[in-house]
Structure 1
């Protein structure tokens, strides 16, 4: 460090160039088996086109058959290479190394991330001696290895990023987010840039878990025109996407929905700004042009131009509206209707997405009522009644989906149920939950705006876990039959989850703690993936949390120590109301 001289201004480097990149190194001549295994494990983390350098560590046959795109095994740390099975015989013709670690996730061939509770991972890499390329002597090479790529969590996050593909909810005219992972830079196998990768992933169709409840408007077999590996928006932020002949004869309305799926999907990519999409036939002729504003028609939650309001229940059980958008903390005001007059003291509440109605659970937790909050109509009879012996064994906080259906869980241990009130008017129907085992119950729930996914806090014994279920809607004998099926863990590393809220189309804000950890408030993708930047500033004793659909508005929470607080983007938690409960945004 210099200890004298003038202070001079220097130009900082481009922050986009600071990301670490790994360049694969080919095996040296006469490399020992240890070096071959270590070099191959390192080469898997690189961006080398076609993983050409990594393949040089394999036998000719293994290099031809290895498919790194087949799957990705994600370990908590870099794979641990064990000692070889034989170390004392210098005349060996083959040798085996164990590969171990803690597996935390798998990414399948459709780019879907699937988290698991950390589990022991144990595989092996087998080496043989193969004639050297120059015909002089032999070289150690790998002939048997685990399928796909094996990466540490940090290498995976460095090389891949999460994006949302969008498909239409089955039978509906709004889109649903389907998160997947693509390469941050050029894909080594397809040689596509991130935009082309994202479009390709969309055209391949939804992930297996979401597929039963969504539809793509692209005809089956639609793909990018052969040879297209790069897609770039022009000076007018228009992205031209050439498709193969499968899409050559679509009508204008279908094309409009196809382009809208693309616009929603590309909106998550920071590397490109797209204001409109032009879909083209393989011969270059135009199919249709759709702008971002036109695509907004198909959003599950349409941007109305006004900020979402937050609500809470005060110490008297009155429903109050809480201004959150102002820099200074404003004074809450009572809503109209019976909930705003303490005619029906409340324990918890949910406000419909259009902010015209509210659903409230009575102060004793027994009854669920629905009432207007924009006019002074009389309250209606209870929609759902619980017979649980204790308040904590009765009704959960309710939740509205974007279809206008109202959901609530009855936590009665003798008869745990998940109930849905169609359009909030009834009569209530019991939702089928065949996976709900004896001794378990739904402690809390939040339904997505698109109405096809539900976040569940599932309590079994002393443990509460977060799971995402898929909503299946059928009709039998003219009556609706609703089921929640295929629940999957969304935060398997958390041993105790306290509260959850949707925070956009594919993200949740979760309160919980990992084993032997402290309580955290953090963002989690619906596929269970997280990032190092997803943890929110610390806040103790959080019992409830709610996030807006638009991430420009603050998160609100109820803290035992601080009352109702808000967290604006880039700020710290700020007290709003000292006494109150059930802070919620519409939904």
Structure 2
């Protein structure tokens, strides 16, 4: 029978103890607690009824099963607590709250739903006799470890029936388990799985949240199963289809990976690339320095070149005295004189892989080809000062395409100014505020707002997406957007790739008070990190690879950080930026 109607309800996670309170109870040796624990995770709330430490930073969480005679709301509350413990016990306790058929068919990790810690879930009896769970979600984690950091309203209804013993159990429920978002770092750790671009000459990192219990195996299985859905059109692999993991053993910081594969079917180049992918992926795991890859009893390529060995952007490019320069010291190289550019007012230089230079001049983008002696206009977006303000600094990608935006619309042109029509359905009613291209040029990051009200920051989003190209490298469309959390703080406009998996922005000081904040967000995370920057910082130059960056300020100064301290390195170089190589 269905649960009887009622109005009872409760706010579940609000009544659960905080991490600090739980630790205090454990330390005091309270009922159901462990007398001594060697360590606890450094982040996240503990809101289960009991917790013990397995070692290696893995916290084992437990929860009681259903209590005889419990009412429907209490059964659902207990089920939610057991879902969090399910990350430790394989959801065995959570299934005790379900009827047998539901327990057999329920898929708790498809997906794992991450509830907001600031807005507790509410459990209440519904008018139709069921029990509803409602609240806010911070995101979700799918069965492959891909996290979607997109806040959503959550509301689901569960049907309960009584068993032959007269006990309430859940008979119908939606896929996935709901847990508090703060447990993410308790049970999982984020790792970058290393795939390849189409040319197999640059890595494309794919961040995943993997179980701490079997991290080495999970990382390799993620690599063998292929890239995340949002990267599938650009990320490739040199590992043959059908390759399976036999085992991985780590001894004295050496990981031996044994694959179920026929090594004789792999060419030497494919072997080297596959081993490079596996090596780069495994070295993301703490405690591994060396990786040996075996196919059956045969060792695959022992000497490999690191995947990102060729991706070194070199010195920063900027403007000084009307000229395009490279470097910030007094011995910096002059790339283009004002006479070549045809103007003393050029800004925002961009150096291409072929040596060609683009600059912004009013509402136009000028380009000087490699070895050229005169700039040519390849794009004009108007003739008024307002048009010039709306033109974003250009980015030259590795395929010789130049990316910018004007009046909120994304624009892509080649070296001659011929436009590429790049389809992006998710930008159709949006206004591009800032954007950047990743180091391998297969991903874009975009800050965008509602086109109907672009001055309103409340509807702002930051998304990453794959850049999909034709066989000649011409961009044709952007893939599905992948939300990035934490970068839409007050006043933030800049956006840059800080590394292969991180984006960076600046939240400027408000009304000249305090200092600017540097905000860094990892792809696939629920929050961003903040640190103070120079007081009036308003511009970022990041090299997209290894967290190297410079900041510019409203006084025309260029800042660098060393050992946690910011210092001015130039007062004569402006509009700094790193080239994509």
TM-score (norm 2): 0.77
Alignment size in residue pairs: 513
Q: Which residue of 2 aligns with 1:216?
A: 237
Q: Does 1:473 align with 2:469?
A: yes
Equivalent residue of 2:495, what SS? strand
Superposition map of 1:380-395 within 5 A: 380-389=375-384, 390-393=386-389, 395=391
2:197 to 169, 181, 192: 169
Superposition map of 1:219-230 within 5 A: 219-225=240-246, 228=247
Q: Does 1:24 align with 2:62?
A: yes
Cα deviation for residue 95 of structure 1 reads 6.0
Q: Does 1:253 align with 2:247?
A: no
Q: Which residue of 1 aligns with 2:173?
A: 145
Q: Which residue of 2 aligns with 1:543?
A: 538
Superposition map of 1:439-458 within 5 A: 440-458=430-448
Q: Counterparts of 2:262 and 2:189 in 1: how far apart (Å)?
A: 29
CA RMSD of aligned residues (A): 3.6
1:69 to 86, 109, 112: 109
Cα deviation for residue 340 of structure 1 reads 10
* Structure 1 residues not aligned, in runs of 5+: 1-11, 87-93, 132-136, 187-192, 324-329
Q: Does 1:103 align with 2:118?
A: no
Q: Does 1:56 align with 2:51?
A: no
Equivalent residue of 1:511, what SS? strand
Cα deviation for residue 15 of structure 1 reads 8.4
Q: Which residue of 1 aligns with 2:396?
A: 400
Q: Does 1:81 align with 2:122?
A: yes
Change (3 A) 1:440 1:82: closer
Cα deviation for residue 119 of structure 1 reads 2.8
Indicate if the aligned counterparts of 1:79 and 1:99 stay in contact, CA closer than 8 A. Answer: no
Q: Which residue of 1 aligns with 2:347?
A: 347
Q: Which residue of 2 aligns with 1:232?
A: 249
Cα deviation for residue 179 of structure 1 reads 1.8
1:263 to 279, 289, 294: 279
Q: Counterparts of 1:439 and 1:67 in 2: how far apart (Å)?
A: 36
Cα deviation for residue 198 of structure 1 reads 0.7
Q: Which residue of 2 aligns with 1:160?
A: 188
Per-residue displacement from partner, 1:444-485 (whole Å, max 9, x unpaired)?
A: 33111212111223352224542323212115xx89463334
Equivalent residue of 1:309, what SS? coil
Q: Counterparts of 2:186 and 2:98 in 1: how far apart (Å)?
A: 25
Change (3 A) 1:584 1:561: same
Change (3 A) 1:222 1:485: same
Q: Counterparts of 2:554 and 2:93 in 1: how far apart (Å)?
A: 56
Q: Which residue of 1 aligns with 2:337?
A: 338
Equivalent residue of 1:155, what SS? helix
Q: Which residue of 1 aligns with 2:360?
A: 361
* Structure 2 residues not aligned, in runs of 5+: 1-36, 42-54, 509-514
Indicate if the aligned counterparts of 2:403 and 2:412 stay in contact, CA closer than 8 A. Answer: yes
Indicate if the aligned counterparts of 2:499 and 2:547 stay in contact, CA closer than 8 A. Answer: no
Change (3 A) 1:371 1:248: closer
Cα deviation for residue 342 of structure 1 reads 7.8
Indicate if the aligned counterparts of 1:162 and 1:181 stay in contact, CA closer than 8 A. Answer: yes
Cα deviation for residue 543 of structure 1 reads 2.9
Superposition map of 1:426-445 within 5 A: 426=416, 428-435=418-425, 440-445=430-435
Q: Which residue of 2 aligns with 1:189?
A: none
Q: Counterparts of 1:488 and 1:247 in 2: how far apart (Å)?
A: 36
Q: Counterparts of 1:557 and 1:64 in 2: how far apart (Å)?
A: 55
Q: Which residue of 2 aligns with 1:4?
A: none
Q: Counterparts of 1:552 and 1:440 in 2: how far apart (Å)?
A: 29
Q: Counterparts of 1:250 and 1:485 in 2: how far apart (Å)?
A: 31
Q: Which residue of 2 aligns with 1:244?
A: 260
